[in-house]
Structure 1
Amino acid sequence: MLLNLVEYHWAEHIDDALLLLGRLDIKTVALAGGTYLLGQQDDSIQAVVDLRDLGLAYVTEDTRSLHIGAMTTLQSIADEPLLQEFAGGVLAQTALASSSSRLIRNCATIGGTLGTGTASQADLLTALVALEAEVVVRSGSKTQVNLSGGTLEYPGLALSGVIYKGKHERRISCATFNLERRPNELIVEIIIPYNKANNGASFARVGRTSTDAALLNAVAQVETQEGVYKHVCLAFGGVNMEPRRLATLERYLEGQPADNQHLLAALQASIAEFHPPTDFRVSGSYRRVSGINLAYHVLEEATNLAQRRGMVPSGKGV
């Protein structure tokens, strides 16, 4: 519970929300779905800004990328027909797997999930890293100045308390979002690029039960051309584990024939780079052993899907 909460703001415009979040005199945080924030015992939070009326719940596309508004719920992502087809359906699958409770998925948002980070225990974070998604964030500022009067050459009246409002928008890779995000920046949108037609993606996870948080998950995205790996992305994640890509394996496979022999050789050569953390649920060594099997499974499935799609003309690759 937020025991020291003294202000509740229902923002109707994003600029108003940015100015409230940018205040220095009172700690103010964004309220999205509330599934994580309302359970915290953070006595320093004094104000929240409700984002429900900002029009940030949407899924759209253009010729180059897919756009998901920050207030889009996990259940909406799981149910959206466009996302069930996009990237082999891994976004819809990981959104569904991120929580076993439909009540939570109906409230939890993709922006809130990203803002919470590893504490959200969401498989969706790993998918966003593997699909090379970017997060659009905005920040606002307000400056008050006193303008002096004019001169004989340039006459004018003195004005006090003139307020200048400014805002800044930038993109951050999902892979480095937690490191690069600045305080008081508001997540606005997630952008996922479309890839070539001969592209495939796959998702797999290991958990104590089918409804439990993933001890380890893996998402692969593969692009092939004439039977050769052209571009490979493999990301691991899991409970209390920051999603990360296996860069050595990606570099090893790119340019190699897309077959099981080279896939196994790449895994054997690069798995030493994978050092997952240990916690009370699972050891790092168990994650590492499981990671070999998960990586082989998702890479093989993504490769097969990419090769099948490369045989059929298509407008968009994922």
Structure 2
Amino acid sequence: MLSELIEYHWAENIDDVLLLLGRLDVKTVPLAGGTYLLGLQDDSIEAVVDLRDLELASISEDARGIHIGAMTTLQQMVDEPLLRDFATGLLARSAYASSSSRLIRNSATIGGTIATGGASQADLLTALVALEAEVVVRSGSKSQIDLSGGTYDRPGLALSGVVYKGKQERRIPCQEVAIERRPAELIVEVIVPRPALSSGTSLMRVSRTAADVALLNAAALVEIEDKVYRKVRLALGGASMEPVRLYGVEQLLEGQPIMNPLNSQRLLTTLQEGMTMFRPPADVRASSSYRRVSGMGLAYRALEEAMNVASWRGMVSSERGG
């Protein structure tokens, strides 16, 4: 519990939240679903800002892709019709896999999951990294300018050091939030680019039981164009570890002609070459060597499924076009 908590704020607009988070004398953190924060042992936190009244729980789409408000719960993502078809359902599946408890999914939010990072133990993080999602963060800003004294026709009083308060917004790749996001920045939205029609995705996980957190998970996205792998994205994550992109594997596959499903050795050779630098962390659940060895097989299965789905969708779309 937060034993040193002295302030509880129920915010009604984002400006109030940014004002409170920007204070230097009182350590203040946002309270979203509370599934992680309320059980945290952190005596340095003195104030929380409840975000439930902010209008940040929405899912919409446009030409660029899907926009998910930071206060959208994981269960809302599971139930949302837009996400069942988007990226062949990867977001909905990973949100469901992130917790076996519907009670948790009804409280945990996508913004809180991203802010918590590896400690959230959510499969959703790995899926967002594979889909190259961007996180929109907002912070309060102050601009200092010097006002001139005006002209003969329009006289004015010269003032120096006038401070204007405003808002500053920027986008951060999902995989870089842990190191790029500043303490006073509030996550307001997640933007997921729309994959091509001829694309396939996959989510694979290894856990002690079906209801347990993933010791290791893998998310893959494959786009095929003219019988060539135009785009390949592969990410591995798991309990107590930040998701990592396997750039080496991606680069070896992109631009290559599609593989024969029966030729498994070619894909295995590519993974062996591209995963030489994969060094996952260890924790009480699994050693680094276990995750490194298991990661090869998990990545293979994830890529194989994504490739097969992409090939099938490519054939269906070409038949409809013809």
Quick one: distance in 2 between partners of 1:156 and 1:226?
66
Paired amino acid for 2:237: G
Deviation at 1:271, TM superposition (A): 2.4
Alignment coverage as a number of residue pairs: 314
**Residue 186 of structure 2 corresponds to residue 192 of structure 1:** no
Pairwise CA RMSD = 2.4
Quick one: distance in 2 between partners of 1:197 and 1:148?
56
Deviation at 1:276, TM superposition (A): 1.2
Quick one: distance in 1 between partners of 2:143 and 2:314?
54
Deviation at 1:158, TM superposition (A): 9.7
Quick one: distance in 2 between partners of 1:25 and 1:288?
44
Aligned positions of 1:267-286 closer than 5 A: 267-286=271-290
Runs of 4+ in 1 over 3 A off after TM superposition: 141-159
Report the equivalent of 2:298: 294
Paired amino acid for 2:257: P
- Is the contact between residue 253 and residue 262 of structure 1 (CA under 8 Å) also seen in structure 2? no
Quick one: distance in 2 between partners of 1:64 and 1:148?
43
Report the secondary structure of 1:140's partner residue: strand
Paired amino acid for 1:298: A
Report the secondary structure of 1:169's partner residue: strand
Deviation at 1:313, TM superposition (A): 3.2
Paired amino acid for 1:278: A
Report the secondary structure of 1:312's partner residue: helix
Structure 2: which 5+ residue stretches go unaligned? Answer: none
Report the secondary structure of 1:311's partner residue: helix
Quick one: distance in 1 between partners of 2:3 and 2:145?
36
Paired amino acid for 2:128: L
Quick one: distance in 2 between partners of 1:280 and 1:232?
32
Quick one: distance in 1 between partners of 2:48 and 2:146?
31
Aligned positions of 1:1-318 closer than 5 A: 1-141=1-141, 164-259=164-259, 260-313=264-317
Report the secondary structure of 2:83's partner residue: helix
Quick one: distance in 2 between partners of 1:258 and 1:293?
20
Deviation at 1:172, TM superposition (A): 0.3
- Is the contact between residue 256 and residue 262 of structure 1 (CA under 8 Å) also seen in structure 2? no
Quick one: distance in 2 between partners of 1:28 and 1:268?
46
Q: CA separation of 1:218/1:310 partners in 2, compared to 1, >3 Å: closer, same or farther?
A: same
Paired amino acid for 2:170: R
Quick one: distance in 1 between partners of 2:162 and 2:175?
40
Sequence identity of aligned pairs in percent?
67
Deviation at 1:311, TM superposition (A): 2.1
The range that moved more, 232-241 or 275-284, is 275-284
The range that moved more, 191-200 or 150-159, is 150-159
Q: Deviations over 1:73-97 (max 9, x none)?
A: 0111111111121112111111111
TM (norm. structure 2) is 0.91
